[in-house]
Structure 1
Amino acid sequence: MMQLSLAQFEVARADAAANLARIAELAAEASAAGSDLLCLPEMCTTGFDWAYNRAHLDAAADDAAAVSALAKAHGIAICGSMLERTDSGNAANCFHYFDARGELCARYRKLHLFTLFHEERHVEAGEQCVSFETEFGRIGAAICYDLRFPELFRRNTEAGAILQVLPAAFPHPRLDHWRSLVRARAIENQNYFIAINQCGVEGHGSSVGETQYFGHSMVVDPWGEIVVEASEEACLLQVEIDPSLVSKVRSKLSAWEDRRGDLFHL
């Protein structure tokens, strides 16, 4: 069995210190509850103020190191998406997974950039899918807008992933899409899907307005059943899952084995 904590909170825009303080509180609470893994939302250390993020790039590694230290101090694995500086000096939206010793097990840079909000103007896209082994099974990484592109999750599952983790900042009015797509990704790949969303309001200035994130962080099992789902309010969801359910579901319904990979080349 695996104990999860999903941290749904309002990320403080352009305030890494405030966000790291909040993450420290959440790590302590999740550890005290006996969780094996704390899952954080998208851009959890800085939010989406790209002028601030550009100026903050050199400190991004220190933010990641602070999260690593929290994982080690509390003996809990921590994952989430956060700002990263690339070798070319650009910003990246990068998933990090630190194990309970604080060691970095995986990094995944967001493949699909959200052109509706012009993310491609500010972020260097990733170039590869990432899945990685943990003591609970192989995990596939994705971030927010990636949810709309099923090929990524197919590739992760073909690589052996039995859990998919997606930090996100999904806003209104796309709640129905969120709930439908998270379940679909779990059903079609017959694995667990762990989706952690921001909540609250992010202000972008008078010329742009506000974004209302709707929360509804959720865990869906390999049958497509919702194991737990949040409301729109900030919370720390606690849930236990059974990774062995993946093989049990696939033995009862052989859709994964029956796929025609010889015809559909990803």
Structure 2
Amino acid sequence: MTRSITAASIQFHIAFGDVDANLSRALAGLRRVSEKGSSLAVLPEMWSTGYDYKNLAEQAEQTPRVIEALKGATAELGMVTVGSLPEKEGDVIYNTAYVIDRGAVVGTYRKLHLFSTMGEDRFLGAGDRTLVVPTSAGRLGIAICYDLRFPELFRKLALEGAEIICIPAEWPKPRQEHWRTLLRARAIENQLFIAATNCCGLQGKLDFFGMSLLISPRGEILAEGEESPVELTALFDFKEMASYRFQIPCFHDRRPAIYGTLP
């Protein structure tokens, strides 16, 4: 591994149910981080609409045109972007992350773990597979928001060769420290880069704190947002990851025969 890239997190206030406004914000953010040399940009979870459950089926019908706009922008800017959108298949709506690499959708991931506390399981279908995908910015593993609380998913992505795990999120107050601690833990225990983007601002009764993070394989915070819209950038040097894995060979020292298959 001799590559390095500049990664970006595009944190903004999602206009509830307003696809056009959110698309404009996302495209403008992509252009700004591209001007800073970014080749990878992560958008928030359900960034085109927010969790507008009442109108989600109708709004999901606009997702294809949103994807076309992102394909055009990433082709023009020479970038990879990751963010989740409502996807409709038959009568089911999924929270789906799209990986778009320089004009092409190269992978999709439907959120595996639905946050039953907020009723996601009543309105959305759950995914049934993980995703690690090679891109021009590196091998990306994908997780979405609540997935962060399930470390076995992240270990699977790491074992499948992920160099960067991208995490779109809508993570509300008051669980800021859980967000920060879990993200650093996932980076440290898997010795890889994390690019996590949370939204900010009020959506109904929920207050989103932002605090998007770009994290090194050592768990160092390379860039962190506050509570306002912001674009973060940081250098992800893959030589650093290789060096750290050599110094502390956690993957070599694993003992999966002892762990067995977890129930």
**Letter matched to residue 250 of structure 2:** A
Q: Which residue matches 1:93? A: 95
Match runs of 1:80-119 below 5 Å? 80-86=83-89, 88-100=90-102, 102-119=103-120
Cα distance in 1 for partners of 2:193, 2:80 equals 18
Cα distance in 2 for partners of 1:200, 1:193 equals 23
2:17 counterpart of 1:14: yes
Paired residue secondary structure (1:65): helix
Q: Which residue matches 2:52? A: 49
Paired residue secondary structure (1:111): coil
Displacement of 1:217 in angstroms is: 0.4
Match runs of 1:1-266 below 5 Å? 1-86=4-89, 88-100=90-102, 102-203=103-204, 210-264=205-259, 265=261
Cα distance in 2 for partners of 1:57, 1:180 equals 33
Cα distance in 2 for partners of 1:150, 1:165 equals 14
Deviates more, 1:236-245 or 1:183-192: 236-245
RMSD: 1.2
8 A Cα contact 1:131 1:156, kept in partner: yes
Displacement of 1:167 in angstroms is: 0.5
Cα distance in 2 for partners of 1:182, 1:199 equals 17
Cα distance in 1 for partners of 2:177, 2:63 equals 33
**Letter matched to residue 234 of structure 2:** V
Paired residue secondary structure (2:202): strand
Displacement of 1:135 in angstroms is: 3.0
Cα distance in 2 for partners of 1:91, 1:172 equals 26
Displacement of 1:73 in angstroms is: 2.5
8 A Cα contact 1:137 1:243, kept in partner: no
Displacement of 1:143 in angstroms is: 0.1
Deviates more, 1:210-219 or 1:53-62: 53-62
Cα distance in 2 for partners of 1:158, 1:251 equals 16
Give the paired residue count: 258
Displacement of 1:136 in angstroms is: 3.6
Displacement of 1:39 in angstroms is: 1.1
Structure 2 unaligned segments of length 5 or more: list them: none
Please report the TM-score for the alignment, with normalisation by the length of structure 2.
0.95
**Letter matched to residue 153 of structure 2:** L
Question: Alpha carbons of 1:188 and 1:81: their partners in 2 closer, same or farther (altered >3 Å)?
Answer: same
Cα distance in 2 for partners of 1:254, 1:49 equals 45
Cα distance in 2 for partners of 1:174, 1:262 equals 36
8 A Cα contact 1:139 1:161, kept in partner: yes
Deviates more, 1:50-59 or 1:241-250: 50-59
Question: Alpha carbons of 1:239 and 1:190: their partners in 2 closer, same or farther (altered >3 Å)?
Answer: same
Please report the TM-score for the alignment, with normalisation by the length of structure 1.
0.94
**Letter matched to residue 190 of structure 2:** N
